[in-house]
Amino acid sequence: MPLIRMETSKHLEEAQRDEICRQLSLIAAEIVGKPEEYVQAIVSRDACVIRHGGTAGDAAFVEVRSIGGLTPKVNAALAARVCELLGRHGIPPARIYLNFVDVRATHWGHDGSTFG
C-alpha cells in the first residue's frame, strides 16, 4: 500500500506504459507520504473500451487505494499530478476520472497476513 492503478482506452507502447507506471509509483509515494518500497503501481497492458461523457476516445480511470494518508488535500494533489502526467501522454485531463479509497489495515493483505 498504497496502490495506484490506471486503465486507459489509449493504445500505449510498452515503453510508455513502463514510464507511466514508474511515474505513478513516484507520484503516489511522494504525495501520499509513504516509502516507494510499499507502493504498487499497475498500468493495464491492453487498451480497454471507455466511454466518457457518452463518447469514445482517449480516456483513463485511475484508482488510488491506501491505508491512511488520503486526505482532501492529498487527493487534490494526486489528481493534479496524475492528470498532468497522463496529459503529457496524450490523454486529455478532462477525460480522466480518479477514485480515492481509504482502506482499513485489516482489509489489506500482504505476504500471508494483513496490515492490521
DSSP string, the chain: --EEEEEESS---HHHHHHHHHHHHHHHHHHHT--GGG-EEEE-SS-----BTTB-SS-EEEEEEESS---HHHHHHHHHHHHHHHHHTT--GGGEEEEEEE--GGG-EETTEE--
CA–CA dist 116, 99 (Å, integer): 23
Q: Report the catalytic residues.
A: 2
What's the pLDDT at 47? 84
pTM recorded for the entire structure: 0.93
Residues of the chain with pLDDT under 70: none
What are the sequence ranges of the domains in the chain?
3-114
What's the pLDDT at 1? 80
What's the pLDDT at 17? 95
What's the pLDDT at 71? 97
Question: What pairing do the DSSP bridges indicate for beta strands 113-114 and 109-110?
Answer: antiparallel
Would you say 95 and 59 are in contact if contact means Cβ atoms under 8 Å apart? yes
What's the pLDDT at 88? 96
What's the pLDDT at 45? 84
Q: Which CATH class is domain 3-114?
A: alpha beta
Could you tell me the three cell numbers for 24?
Answer: 505513478
